[in-house]
Amino acid sequence: MLTNEAKLDGALKGFTLIELMIVVAIIAILSALSYPSYRNHVCKTERGQARADLMAFAQAMERFYTTNNFSYVRSDEDYSTIFNLHSPAEAAAAKAKYTLAAGEPTADSYTLTASRKSGSCNDGSFTLSSAGIKTWSRNVANGEDGWDE
């Protein structure tokens, strides 16, 4: 039979405050290291979606060109009827990360732009012309440009 002291000794097993603080510190360090990587991944995903939507917008412009007497110009300048002017295109406009614009198309050419609407990525804008020229003007100090990373 166990004595009261042995029963009490078994009931006191658990974690000390120091052990809990060490676990919390480890979790905080892991979170601090992984959050920037996560944000970078989210930004890359949003940029990829914006580039894909810009390409889809260009395809919609080409379809419009063939059905509009071979001209990219709309009389009402409302290109939202051709393609959603936000990215992600299938999401609601309120959840858009990029704003798409057709610029000022001429009969023979256009330049489409995807500009960052909101968020913390601060990643510039993408441009796609009817000639297939793709640029990405990043908002960085070294002035790097390019479509792909």
In a 13 Å sphere around the CA of 71, the CA atoms on its Cβ side amount to 9
- Give Cα separations from 106 to 7, 11, 21, 25 (angstroms): 88, 82, 65, 60
DSSP secondary structure code for residue 83 in this structure: S
Cβ proximity of 105 and 89 under 8 Å: no
Q: Which of 105, 113, 104, 112 is nearest to 71 (CA)?
A: 105
Q: What is the rounded CA–CA span in Å between residue 96 and residue 128?
A: 19
- Enumerate the domain spans of the chain: 17-137
Q: Which of 113, 117, 143 is nearest to 126 (CA)?
A: 113
Q: Which of 87, 72, 90, 94 is nearest to 121 (CA)?
A: 87
What global pTM score does this model have? 0.77
Report pLDDT digits (tens) over 84-135. Answer: 999 999 989 888 999 999 989 999 999 999 999 877 687 788 999 999 999 9
> Given pLDDT bands bounded at 50, 70 and 90, which one contains residue 3?
low
Token pair of 65 as six digits = 């060109």
